[in-house]
Chains A and B, each alone.
Chain A
Amino acid sequence: MKKLILGNEGVARGAYEAGIKVAAAYPGTPSTEITEFIAKYDEVYAEWSPNEKVAMEVAIGASMAGARAMVTMKHVGLNVAADPLFTVSYTGVNGGLVVLVADDPGMHSSQNEQDSRCYARAAHVPMLEPADSQEAKDYMKLAFNLSEKYDTPVFVRMTTRVSHAQSIVEIGEREEIELKPYEKNIQKNVMMPGMAIKRHIVVENRMNQLAEDANSLEINRIEWNDTKIGIITSGIAYQYVKEALPNASVLKLGMVHPLPMKLIKEFADKVETLYIVEELEAVIEEQVKANGISAIGKEIFSVQGELSVKKILSAIANKEIQTKNPEALPGRPPVLCPGCPHRGIYYVMKKLKLNATGDIGCYTLGALEPLAGIDTCVCMGASVGMVHGIEKARGRDFSKNWVGVIGDSTFIHSGITGLIDIVYNKGMSTVVILDNSTTGMTGHQDNPATGKTIKGEAAPVLNLVELAKAIGIKNVRVVDPFDLKEVEAVLKEETNKDEPSVIIASRPCALLIKEKKAPYKITDACVLCGACLRLGCPAIEKQDGKVVINDALCNGCGLCPKVCRVNAIVKDGE
């Protein structure tokens, strides 16, 4: 059966057909849908783990126990999971182990555009890179086979344009794979220096063998054509190359680490000019050149952002496509939804002129005007450690004006350890946990504090209040972020204490509430003070000198009437 599916569904389908038993992940664009699709298969155990490191360890355990297992994350998640990664490379696997990592060239939804291929090289783990949904499915199956054959974890690398593109896939059947027997083997699985030294030798031999075998691997294929131009490429860049230069000869690499150097030499020898077309870092290019092969790559391409047909035509064929210039227009950055619970906290923080170390989630969107609620965003969990660092650098008088702001999922992911640090090292910071009962930014996944698993089953609810207390925070306050008076009072009190505090702002994400509430409207009583406009609700706008509420956007949350001093905002129909 042929089906039009997302690259991410292709990955999930491939894992399923390969007989996978355990899938662990932490959500992150563009990888999130993979695990959501896998969770639909009854034969597979799937979970959202609290973070990528834990997810990786769950998958490693499952593999050692003899099952085919995978772990899924976005590129920056691999930083979090890097510690187990580098050592599971030494232990190798029992059941096949696939590490799926999705990169985001162009940073559509990310804070950086790091290239995961660098991890493959650094950790000595082979990496496959599909170019469409069918390959995503096929490469997953191959990855499990390679993993077991070479006793190694195997990376499959996706990028946004493969993950979130739909293309046609031939759906197959699931192959049930028997669990491999578990045998205790401390020489292989306990990485103390004595054992690790020996395993490192195994790793080097394995990678040498793989590099040799890569030369005849089917997914590394040459498409001979005119030999004036030869192009080495992989992943989505292959699609752009085929579109831009249909007559060029192409060496398409399905495995991007280790590289098939003999095949590359053979290809290079037969073409007049060799180009390397790869997004982000010069990973292939540097290795090719180090092998004494002359090629053109980053001389004509950038290490930044995504490639395109247009860029390739311009760089290689010197063909400038004349197009009209884009119009100069106001931008449309993403915003907090109408009715978003985060809006209340930021409104008060702005009123109190507080500074904030921020974190990653929907609430990062509150960095922009008019709320402008946070000063920083580095990585998940950073808000907690950073607010403590600020205090240690400049003293309590300075830090009284600061809070750390972090979402529920992010706090569980990596804010907890920061909080322990604050208590342990006698910090006095205030940390605000924005508990909207979901992992919002990535599309509403459950997490340990929501009471549900990825399969929709009931789960114990992580109690954030008790957790904070157990860590040693004496001042734990719970507020409704839409109770602006209460939020203001609590923020003032807690930031002025010479003790650490946690404020939990609890109200569900607006998109979790299914019943539709009547929208609000603005009456003639409006004195144009602009207070409601400072909420940054996309439904409140100025039109022909009047402030109006767009009834197609308003979700009836009732926050704006609370900031109107003349009671000009009323429910429609009242």
Chain B
Amino acid sequence: METKNILIVGVGGQGTLLTSRIIGDVAVKKGYDVKMSEVHGMAQRGGSVVTHVRYGDKVYSPLVEEGTCDILLAFEKLEALRWIHYLKEDGIAIVNNQEINPMPVITGAAQYPEDIIERIKVTCKKTYIVDALNIAKELGNIKVLNTVLLGILSKHLGLEKTDWEEAIERTVPPKTIELNKKAFSTGYELEIK
């Protein structure tokens, strides 16, 4: 199999790491070689964060190169646009329609772009916009934002739903398994254009 390249981007503190770890877990179980590059350290304090996930028959580099990404999963709109050029020609973008103002915007030194979704769509023909934050709020905990998004992403990776559910069971804290599975299902079943 050709190596799958996935980028998960967002703002430090949004819980992007859990998502990538579940994908990694599934890929290992399916017998693939897997490499992932995570962000630990300074950027976790509300900075721009990115996790690279790659799996296939044999993977060397843990980093997704520009122009080769199959799927960009963005937890925040501005971050989606920041990484959009990593997508390959027919890549997919899944974008959580949430805005988190970075400090230069808060201080007035910069503007939060208003036309983000349009600009994303210019680059990426297959863009899915989803309001995962509100879905997570309705489920009772904004932290499951990440499993909602994972549910949406999983459908584009062509593995069984049960594979994912088992991986969730192995990965998340035991007390949160049910909630996370529910969040995953909600994302999985979501019809988005």
**Interface positions of A (Cβ within 8 A of B):** 2-4, 6, 29-30, 32-33, 108-109, 132, 161, 164-168, 236, 238-240, 242-243, 308-310, 321-327, 329-337, 362, 365, 368-370, 441-443, 533, 536, 538, 540-542, 550, 552-553
Find the B residue at minimum CB distance from A370. B107
**What residues of B have a CB within 8 angstroms of the CB of A236 in the complex?**
62
**What residues of A have a CB within 8 angstroms of the CB of B104 in the complex?**
330-331, 333, 369
CA distance A536 to B21 in the complex (A): 32
Name the residue in A238, A243, A550 with the highest tally of chain B Cβ atoms < 10 Å from its Cβ: A243
- Do the beta carbons of B62 and A538 come within 8 Å of each other? no
Q: Which of B5-60 contact A (CB under 8 A)?
A: 11-13, 21, 24-25, 28, 33-48, 59-60
**What residues of B have a CB within 8 angstroms of the CB of A242 in the complex?**
60-61
CA distance A538 to B76 in the complex (A): 15
- Does B85 sit at the interface, judged by CB under 8 A? yes
CA distance A186 to B133 in the complex (A): 67
**What residues of A have a CB within 8 angstroms of the CB of B86 in the complex?**
323
- Do the beta carbons of A322 and B41 come within 8 Å of each other? no
- Do the beta carbons of B65 and A321 come within 8 Å of each other? yes
Q: How far is the CB of A442 from chain B (nearest CB, A)?
A: 7
Q: Which of B81-139 contact A (CB under 8 A)?
A: 81-82, 84-86, 98, 100-113, 119, 123, 133
Contact of A166 among B34, B39, B48, B142 (CB under 8 A): B34
- Do the beta carbons of A536 and B103 come within 8 Å of each other? yes
- Do the beta carbons of B35 and A132 come within 8 Å of each other? yes
Given contact pairs A310-B65, A324-B67, enumerate 8 new A-B contacts (beta carbons under 8 Å): A167-B62, A243-B60, A329-B113, A331-B102, A335-B103, A368-B103, A541-B106, A542-B106
Q: How far is the CB of B164 from chain A (nearest CB, A)?
A: 16
CA distance A368 to B107 in the complex (A): 10
The 10 A-B residue pairs with the shortest CB-CB distance, nearest first, are: A109-B41, A29-B41, A330-B110, A334-B47, A165-B62, A323-B67, A332-B102, A109-B42, A334-B45, A324-B85
- Do the beta carbons of B107 and A323 come within 8 Å of each other? no
**What residues of B have a CB within 8 angstroms of the CB of A321 in the complex?**
65-67
Contact A324 B123, CB 8 Å, known A32-B40, A168-B28: yes
- Does B63 sit at the interface, judged by CB under 8 A? yes
**What residues of B have a CB within 8 angstroms of the CB of A332 in the complex?**
11, 46-48, 78-79, 82, 102-103
**Interface positions of B (Cβ within 8 A of A):** 11-13, 21, 24-25, 28, 33-48, 59-63, 65-67, 78-79, 81-82, 84-86, 98, 100-113, 119, 123, 133, 142
**What residues of A have a CB within 8 angstroms of the CB of B103 in the complex?**
332-333, 335, 368-370, 536, 538
Contact of B34 among A164, A168, A238 (CB under 8 A): A168
Q: How far is the CB of B14 from chain A (nearest CB, A)?
A: 10
Contact A308 B33, CB 8 Å, known A108-B42, A330-B112, A540-B106: no
CA distance A322 to B106 in the complex (A): 35
**6 residue pairs from A and B, CB less than 8 Å apart:** A29-B41, A321-B67, A333-B103, A333-B104, A369-B103, A552-B133
Find the A residue at minimum CB distance from B46. A335
CA distance A472 to B78 in the complex (A): 52
Contact A165 B35, CB 8 Å, known A32-B40, A327-B81, A335-B46: yes
Contact of A369 among B25, B45, B107, B119 (CB under 8 A): B107
Q: How far is the CB of A143 from chain B (nearest CB, A)?
A: 22
CA distance A304 to B110 in the complex (A): 29
- Do the beta carbons of B65 and A165 come within 8 Å of each other? no
Contact A108 B37, CB 8 Å, known A310-B65, A323-B85, A536-B106: no
CA distance A165 to B52 in the complex (A): 9
CA distance A538 to B101 in the complex (A): 7
- Do the beta carbons of A362 and B62 come within 8 Å of each other? no
CA distance A32 to B86 in the complex (A): 30
Contact of B45 among A108, A327, A337 (CB under 8 A): A337
CA distance A552 to B61 in the complex (A): 36
Contact A362 B45, CB 8 Å, known A108-B39, A166-B38, A239-B62: yes
Contact of A336 among B45, B62, B101, B119 (CB under 8 A): B45
CA distance A243 to B63 in the complex (A): 10
- Do the beta carbons of A441 and B25 come within 8 Å of each other? no
Contact A369 B84, CB 8 Å, known A161-B63, A538-B101: no
Q: How far is the CB of A132 from chain B (nearest CB, A)?
A: 7
**What residues of A have a CB within 8 angstroms of the CB of B102 in the complex?**
330-333
- Do the beta carbons of B46 and A443 come within 8 Å of each other? no
Find the A residue at minimum CB distance from B38. A164
CA distance A83 to B156 in the complex (A): 54
- Do the beta carbons of A337 and B107 come within 8 Å of each other? no
CA distance A115 to B37 in the complex (A): 21
Contact A327 B13, CB 8 Å, known A164-B39, A538-B101: no
Find the B residue at minimum CB distance from A538. B46
Contact A334 B42, CB 8 Å, known A168-B34, A243-B60, A368-B103: yes
